[in-house]
Structure 1
Amino acid sequence: MFTRIVLGTRYIILLPVIGSLILSIITLIYGVLAGVVFALHEFTHVDLTASGSKFLAVEDIQLIDIFLLGTVLYIIALGLYDLFIDAHLALPSWLVLRSFEDLKSKLIGIIIVLLAVTFLAAVVNWNGKTDIFSLGIGTSLALLALSVVNWQTRKRQNSTDDSSKPEDNGA
């Protein structure tokens, strides 16, 4: 009886699944609305200069970043649901999660992209007066640490996958 109760508590994970889905929807809608507002502004205030094209490039990257974040929130919701509730979801092959480590790896990957895009925006918008060097060092250290964690996670996952495969005796 206790086992059934403990196993039933896995449904508490539906709370972060629903929360991630709601955040995903909000983020994606926000991205679309921000894109529409930006497009309207660009078409009404055309700036065909080098600084205008630089601004356009940074805005485009930041909008894509919003869509990417919304997509990752959706992937997290699906991943949690798949890992804790129903492992028989018909997910695309690139989204198959075998462990919580796989989900963490995907999340770390998006954090790396978000940090890089944020730093890129700071560089492009740099006015020459602020200390961008410190921001660059801090961002680089964070990117390096996350990359090492992600590499170690994948390396550990691959060694686990390799050890679970049957030996090939050449026959």
Structure 2
Amino acid sequence: MVRRILASSRYIMIVPVVGTFLGSLALILYEAVVLYTNAVEAIRDRSFTTKSVKIFAVGIVEAVDVFLIAIAVYIISIGLYSLFVDDKLPLPKWLEVSNLEDLKGNLVSVVIAVLAVLFLREAVAWDGSREIAPFGVALALVIAALTFFLMKNNIRRK
């Protein structure tokens, strides 16, 4: 009886799977609408100056940032589902998750990309009025630490 209850309890993971999937979908749809709205406004304003193009470019970079976060949430959703509910889910090789370490590795890889896009956004929006080098160094240290984490996990698995 207890064994059956514990075996069935894995299906409780459907709650975070559905929640993260819906969160990812909401982020993607919301940011697509924001991107579309910004493009329509840029065309409607007919202000094709260097400054307006730069503002539009920053908006696109910010959209990429949100899309990457949505991808990270989607990877968590798929990973949790394949770990707890159905390990036979057909996935591309890079998305296959056999344990929590794989899921963390996928997530950390996306976080590194998000941090790189975050710096790119700041660099594109930079107007020279403030220092961005300390921000870049801080992000580089975090990215280096996360890369070390990934390398350490890959070495441990071999």
Common fold by TM > 0.5: yes
Distance 1:45 1:155 in 2: 54
**Paired residues of 2:21 and 2:77 also in contact (CA < 8 A):** yes
Distance 2:154 2:58 in 1: 31
Equivalence for 1:168: none
Distance 1:144 1:127 in 2: 27
Deviations for 1:96-136, whole angstroms, at most 9, x for unmatched residues? 22221111111101111111111221122223333423222
Bigger Rg over Cα: 1
Q: How many residues align?
A: 158
TM-score by length of 1: 0.82
Q: Which aligned runs of 4 or more in structure 1 are off by greater than 6 angstroms?
A: none
Equivalence for 2:7: 7
Give aligned-pair identity as a percent: 34
Equivalence for 2:152: 152
Distance 1:30 1:2 in 2: 44
CA RMSD in angstroms comes to: 1.9
Distance 2:136 2:90 in 1: 42
Distance 1:147 1:48 in 2: 40
The answer to whether 1:134 aligns with 2:134 is yes
Equivalence for 2:95: 95
Distance 1:49 1:154 in 2: 48
Q: CA shift at 1:28, angstroms?
A: 0.8
SS of 1:153's partner is helix
Residue ranges of structure 1 left out of the alignment (5+ in a row)? 160-171
Distance 2:38 2:15 in 1: 34
Q: CA shift at 1:83, angstroms?
A: 0.6
Distance 2:93 2:116 in 1: 27
Residue type matched to 2:77 in 1?
Answer: A
The answer to whether 1:34 aligns with 2:39 is no
Equivalence for 2:68: 68
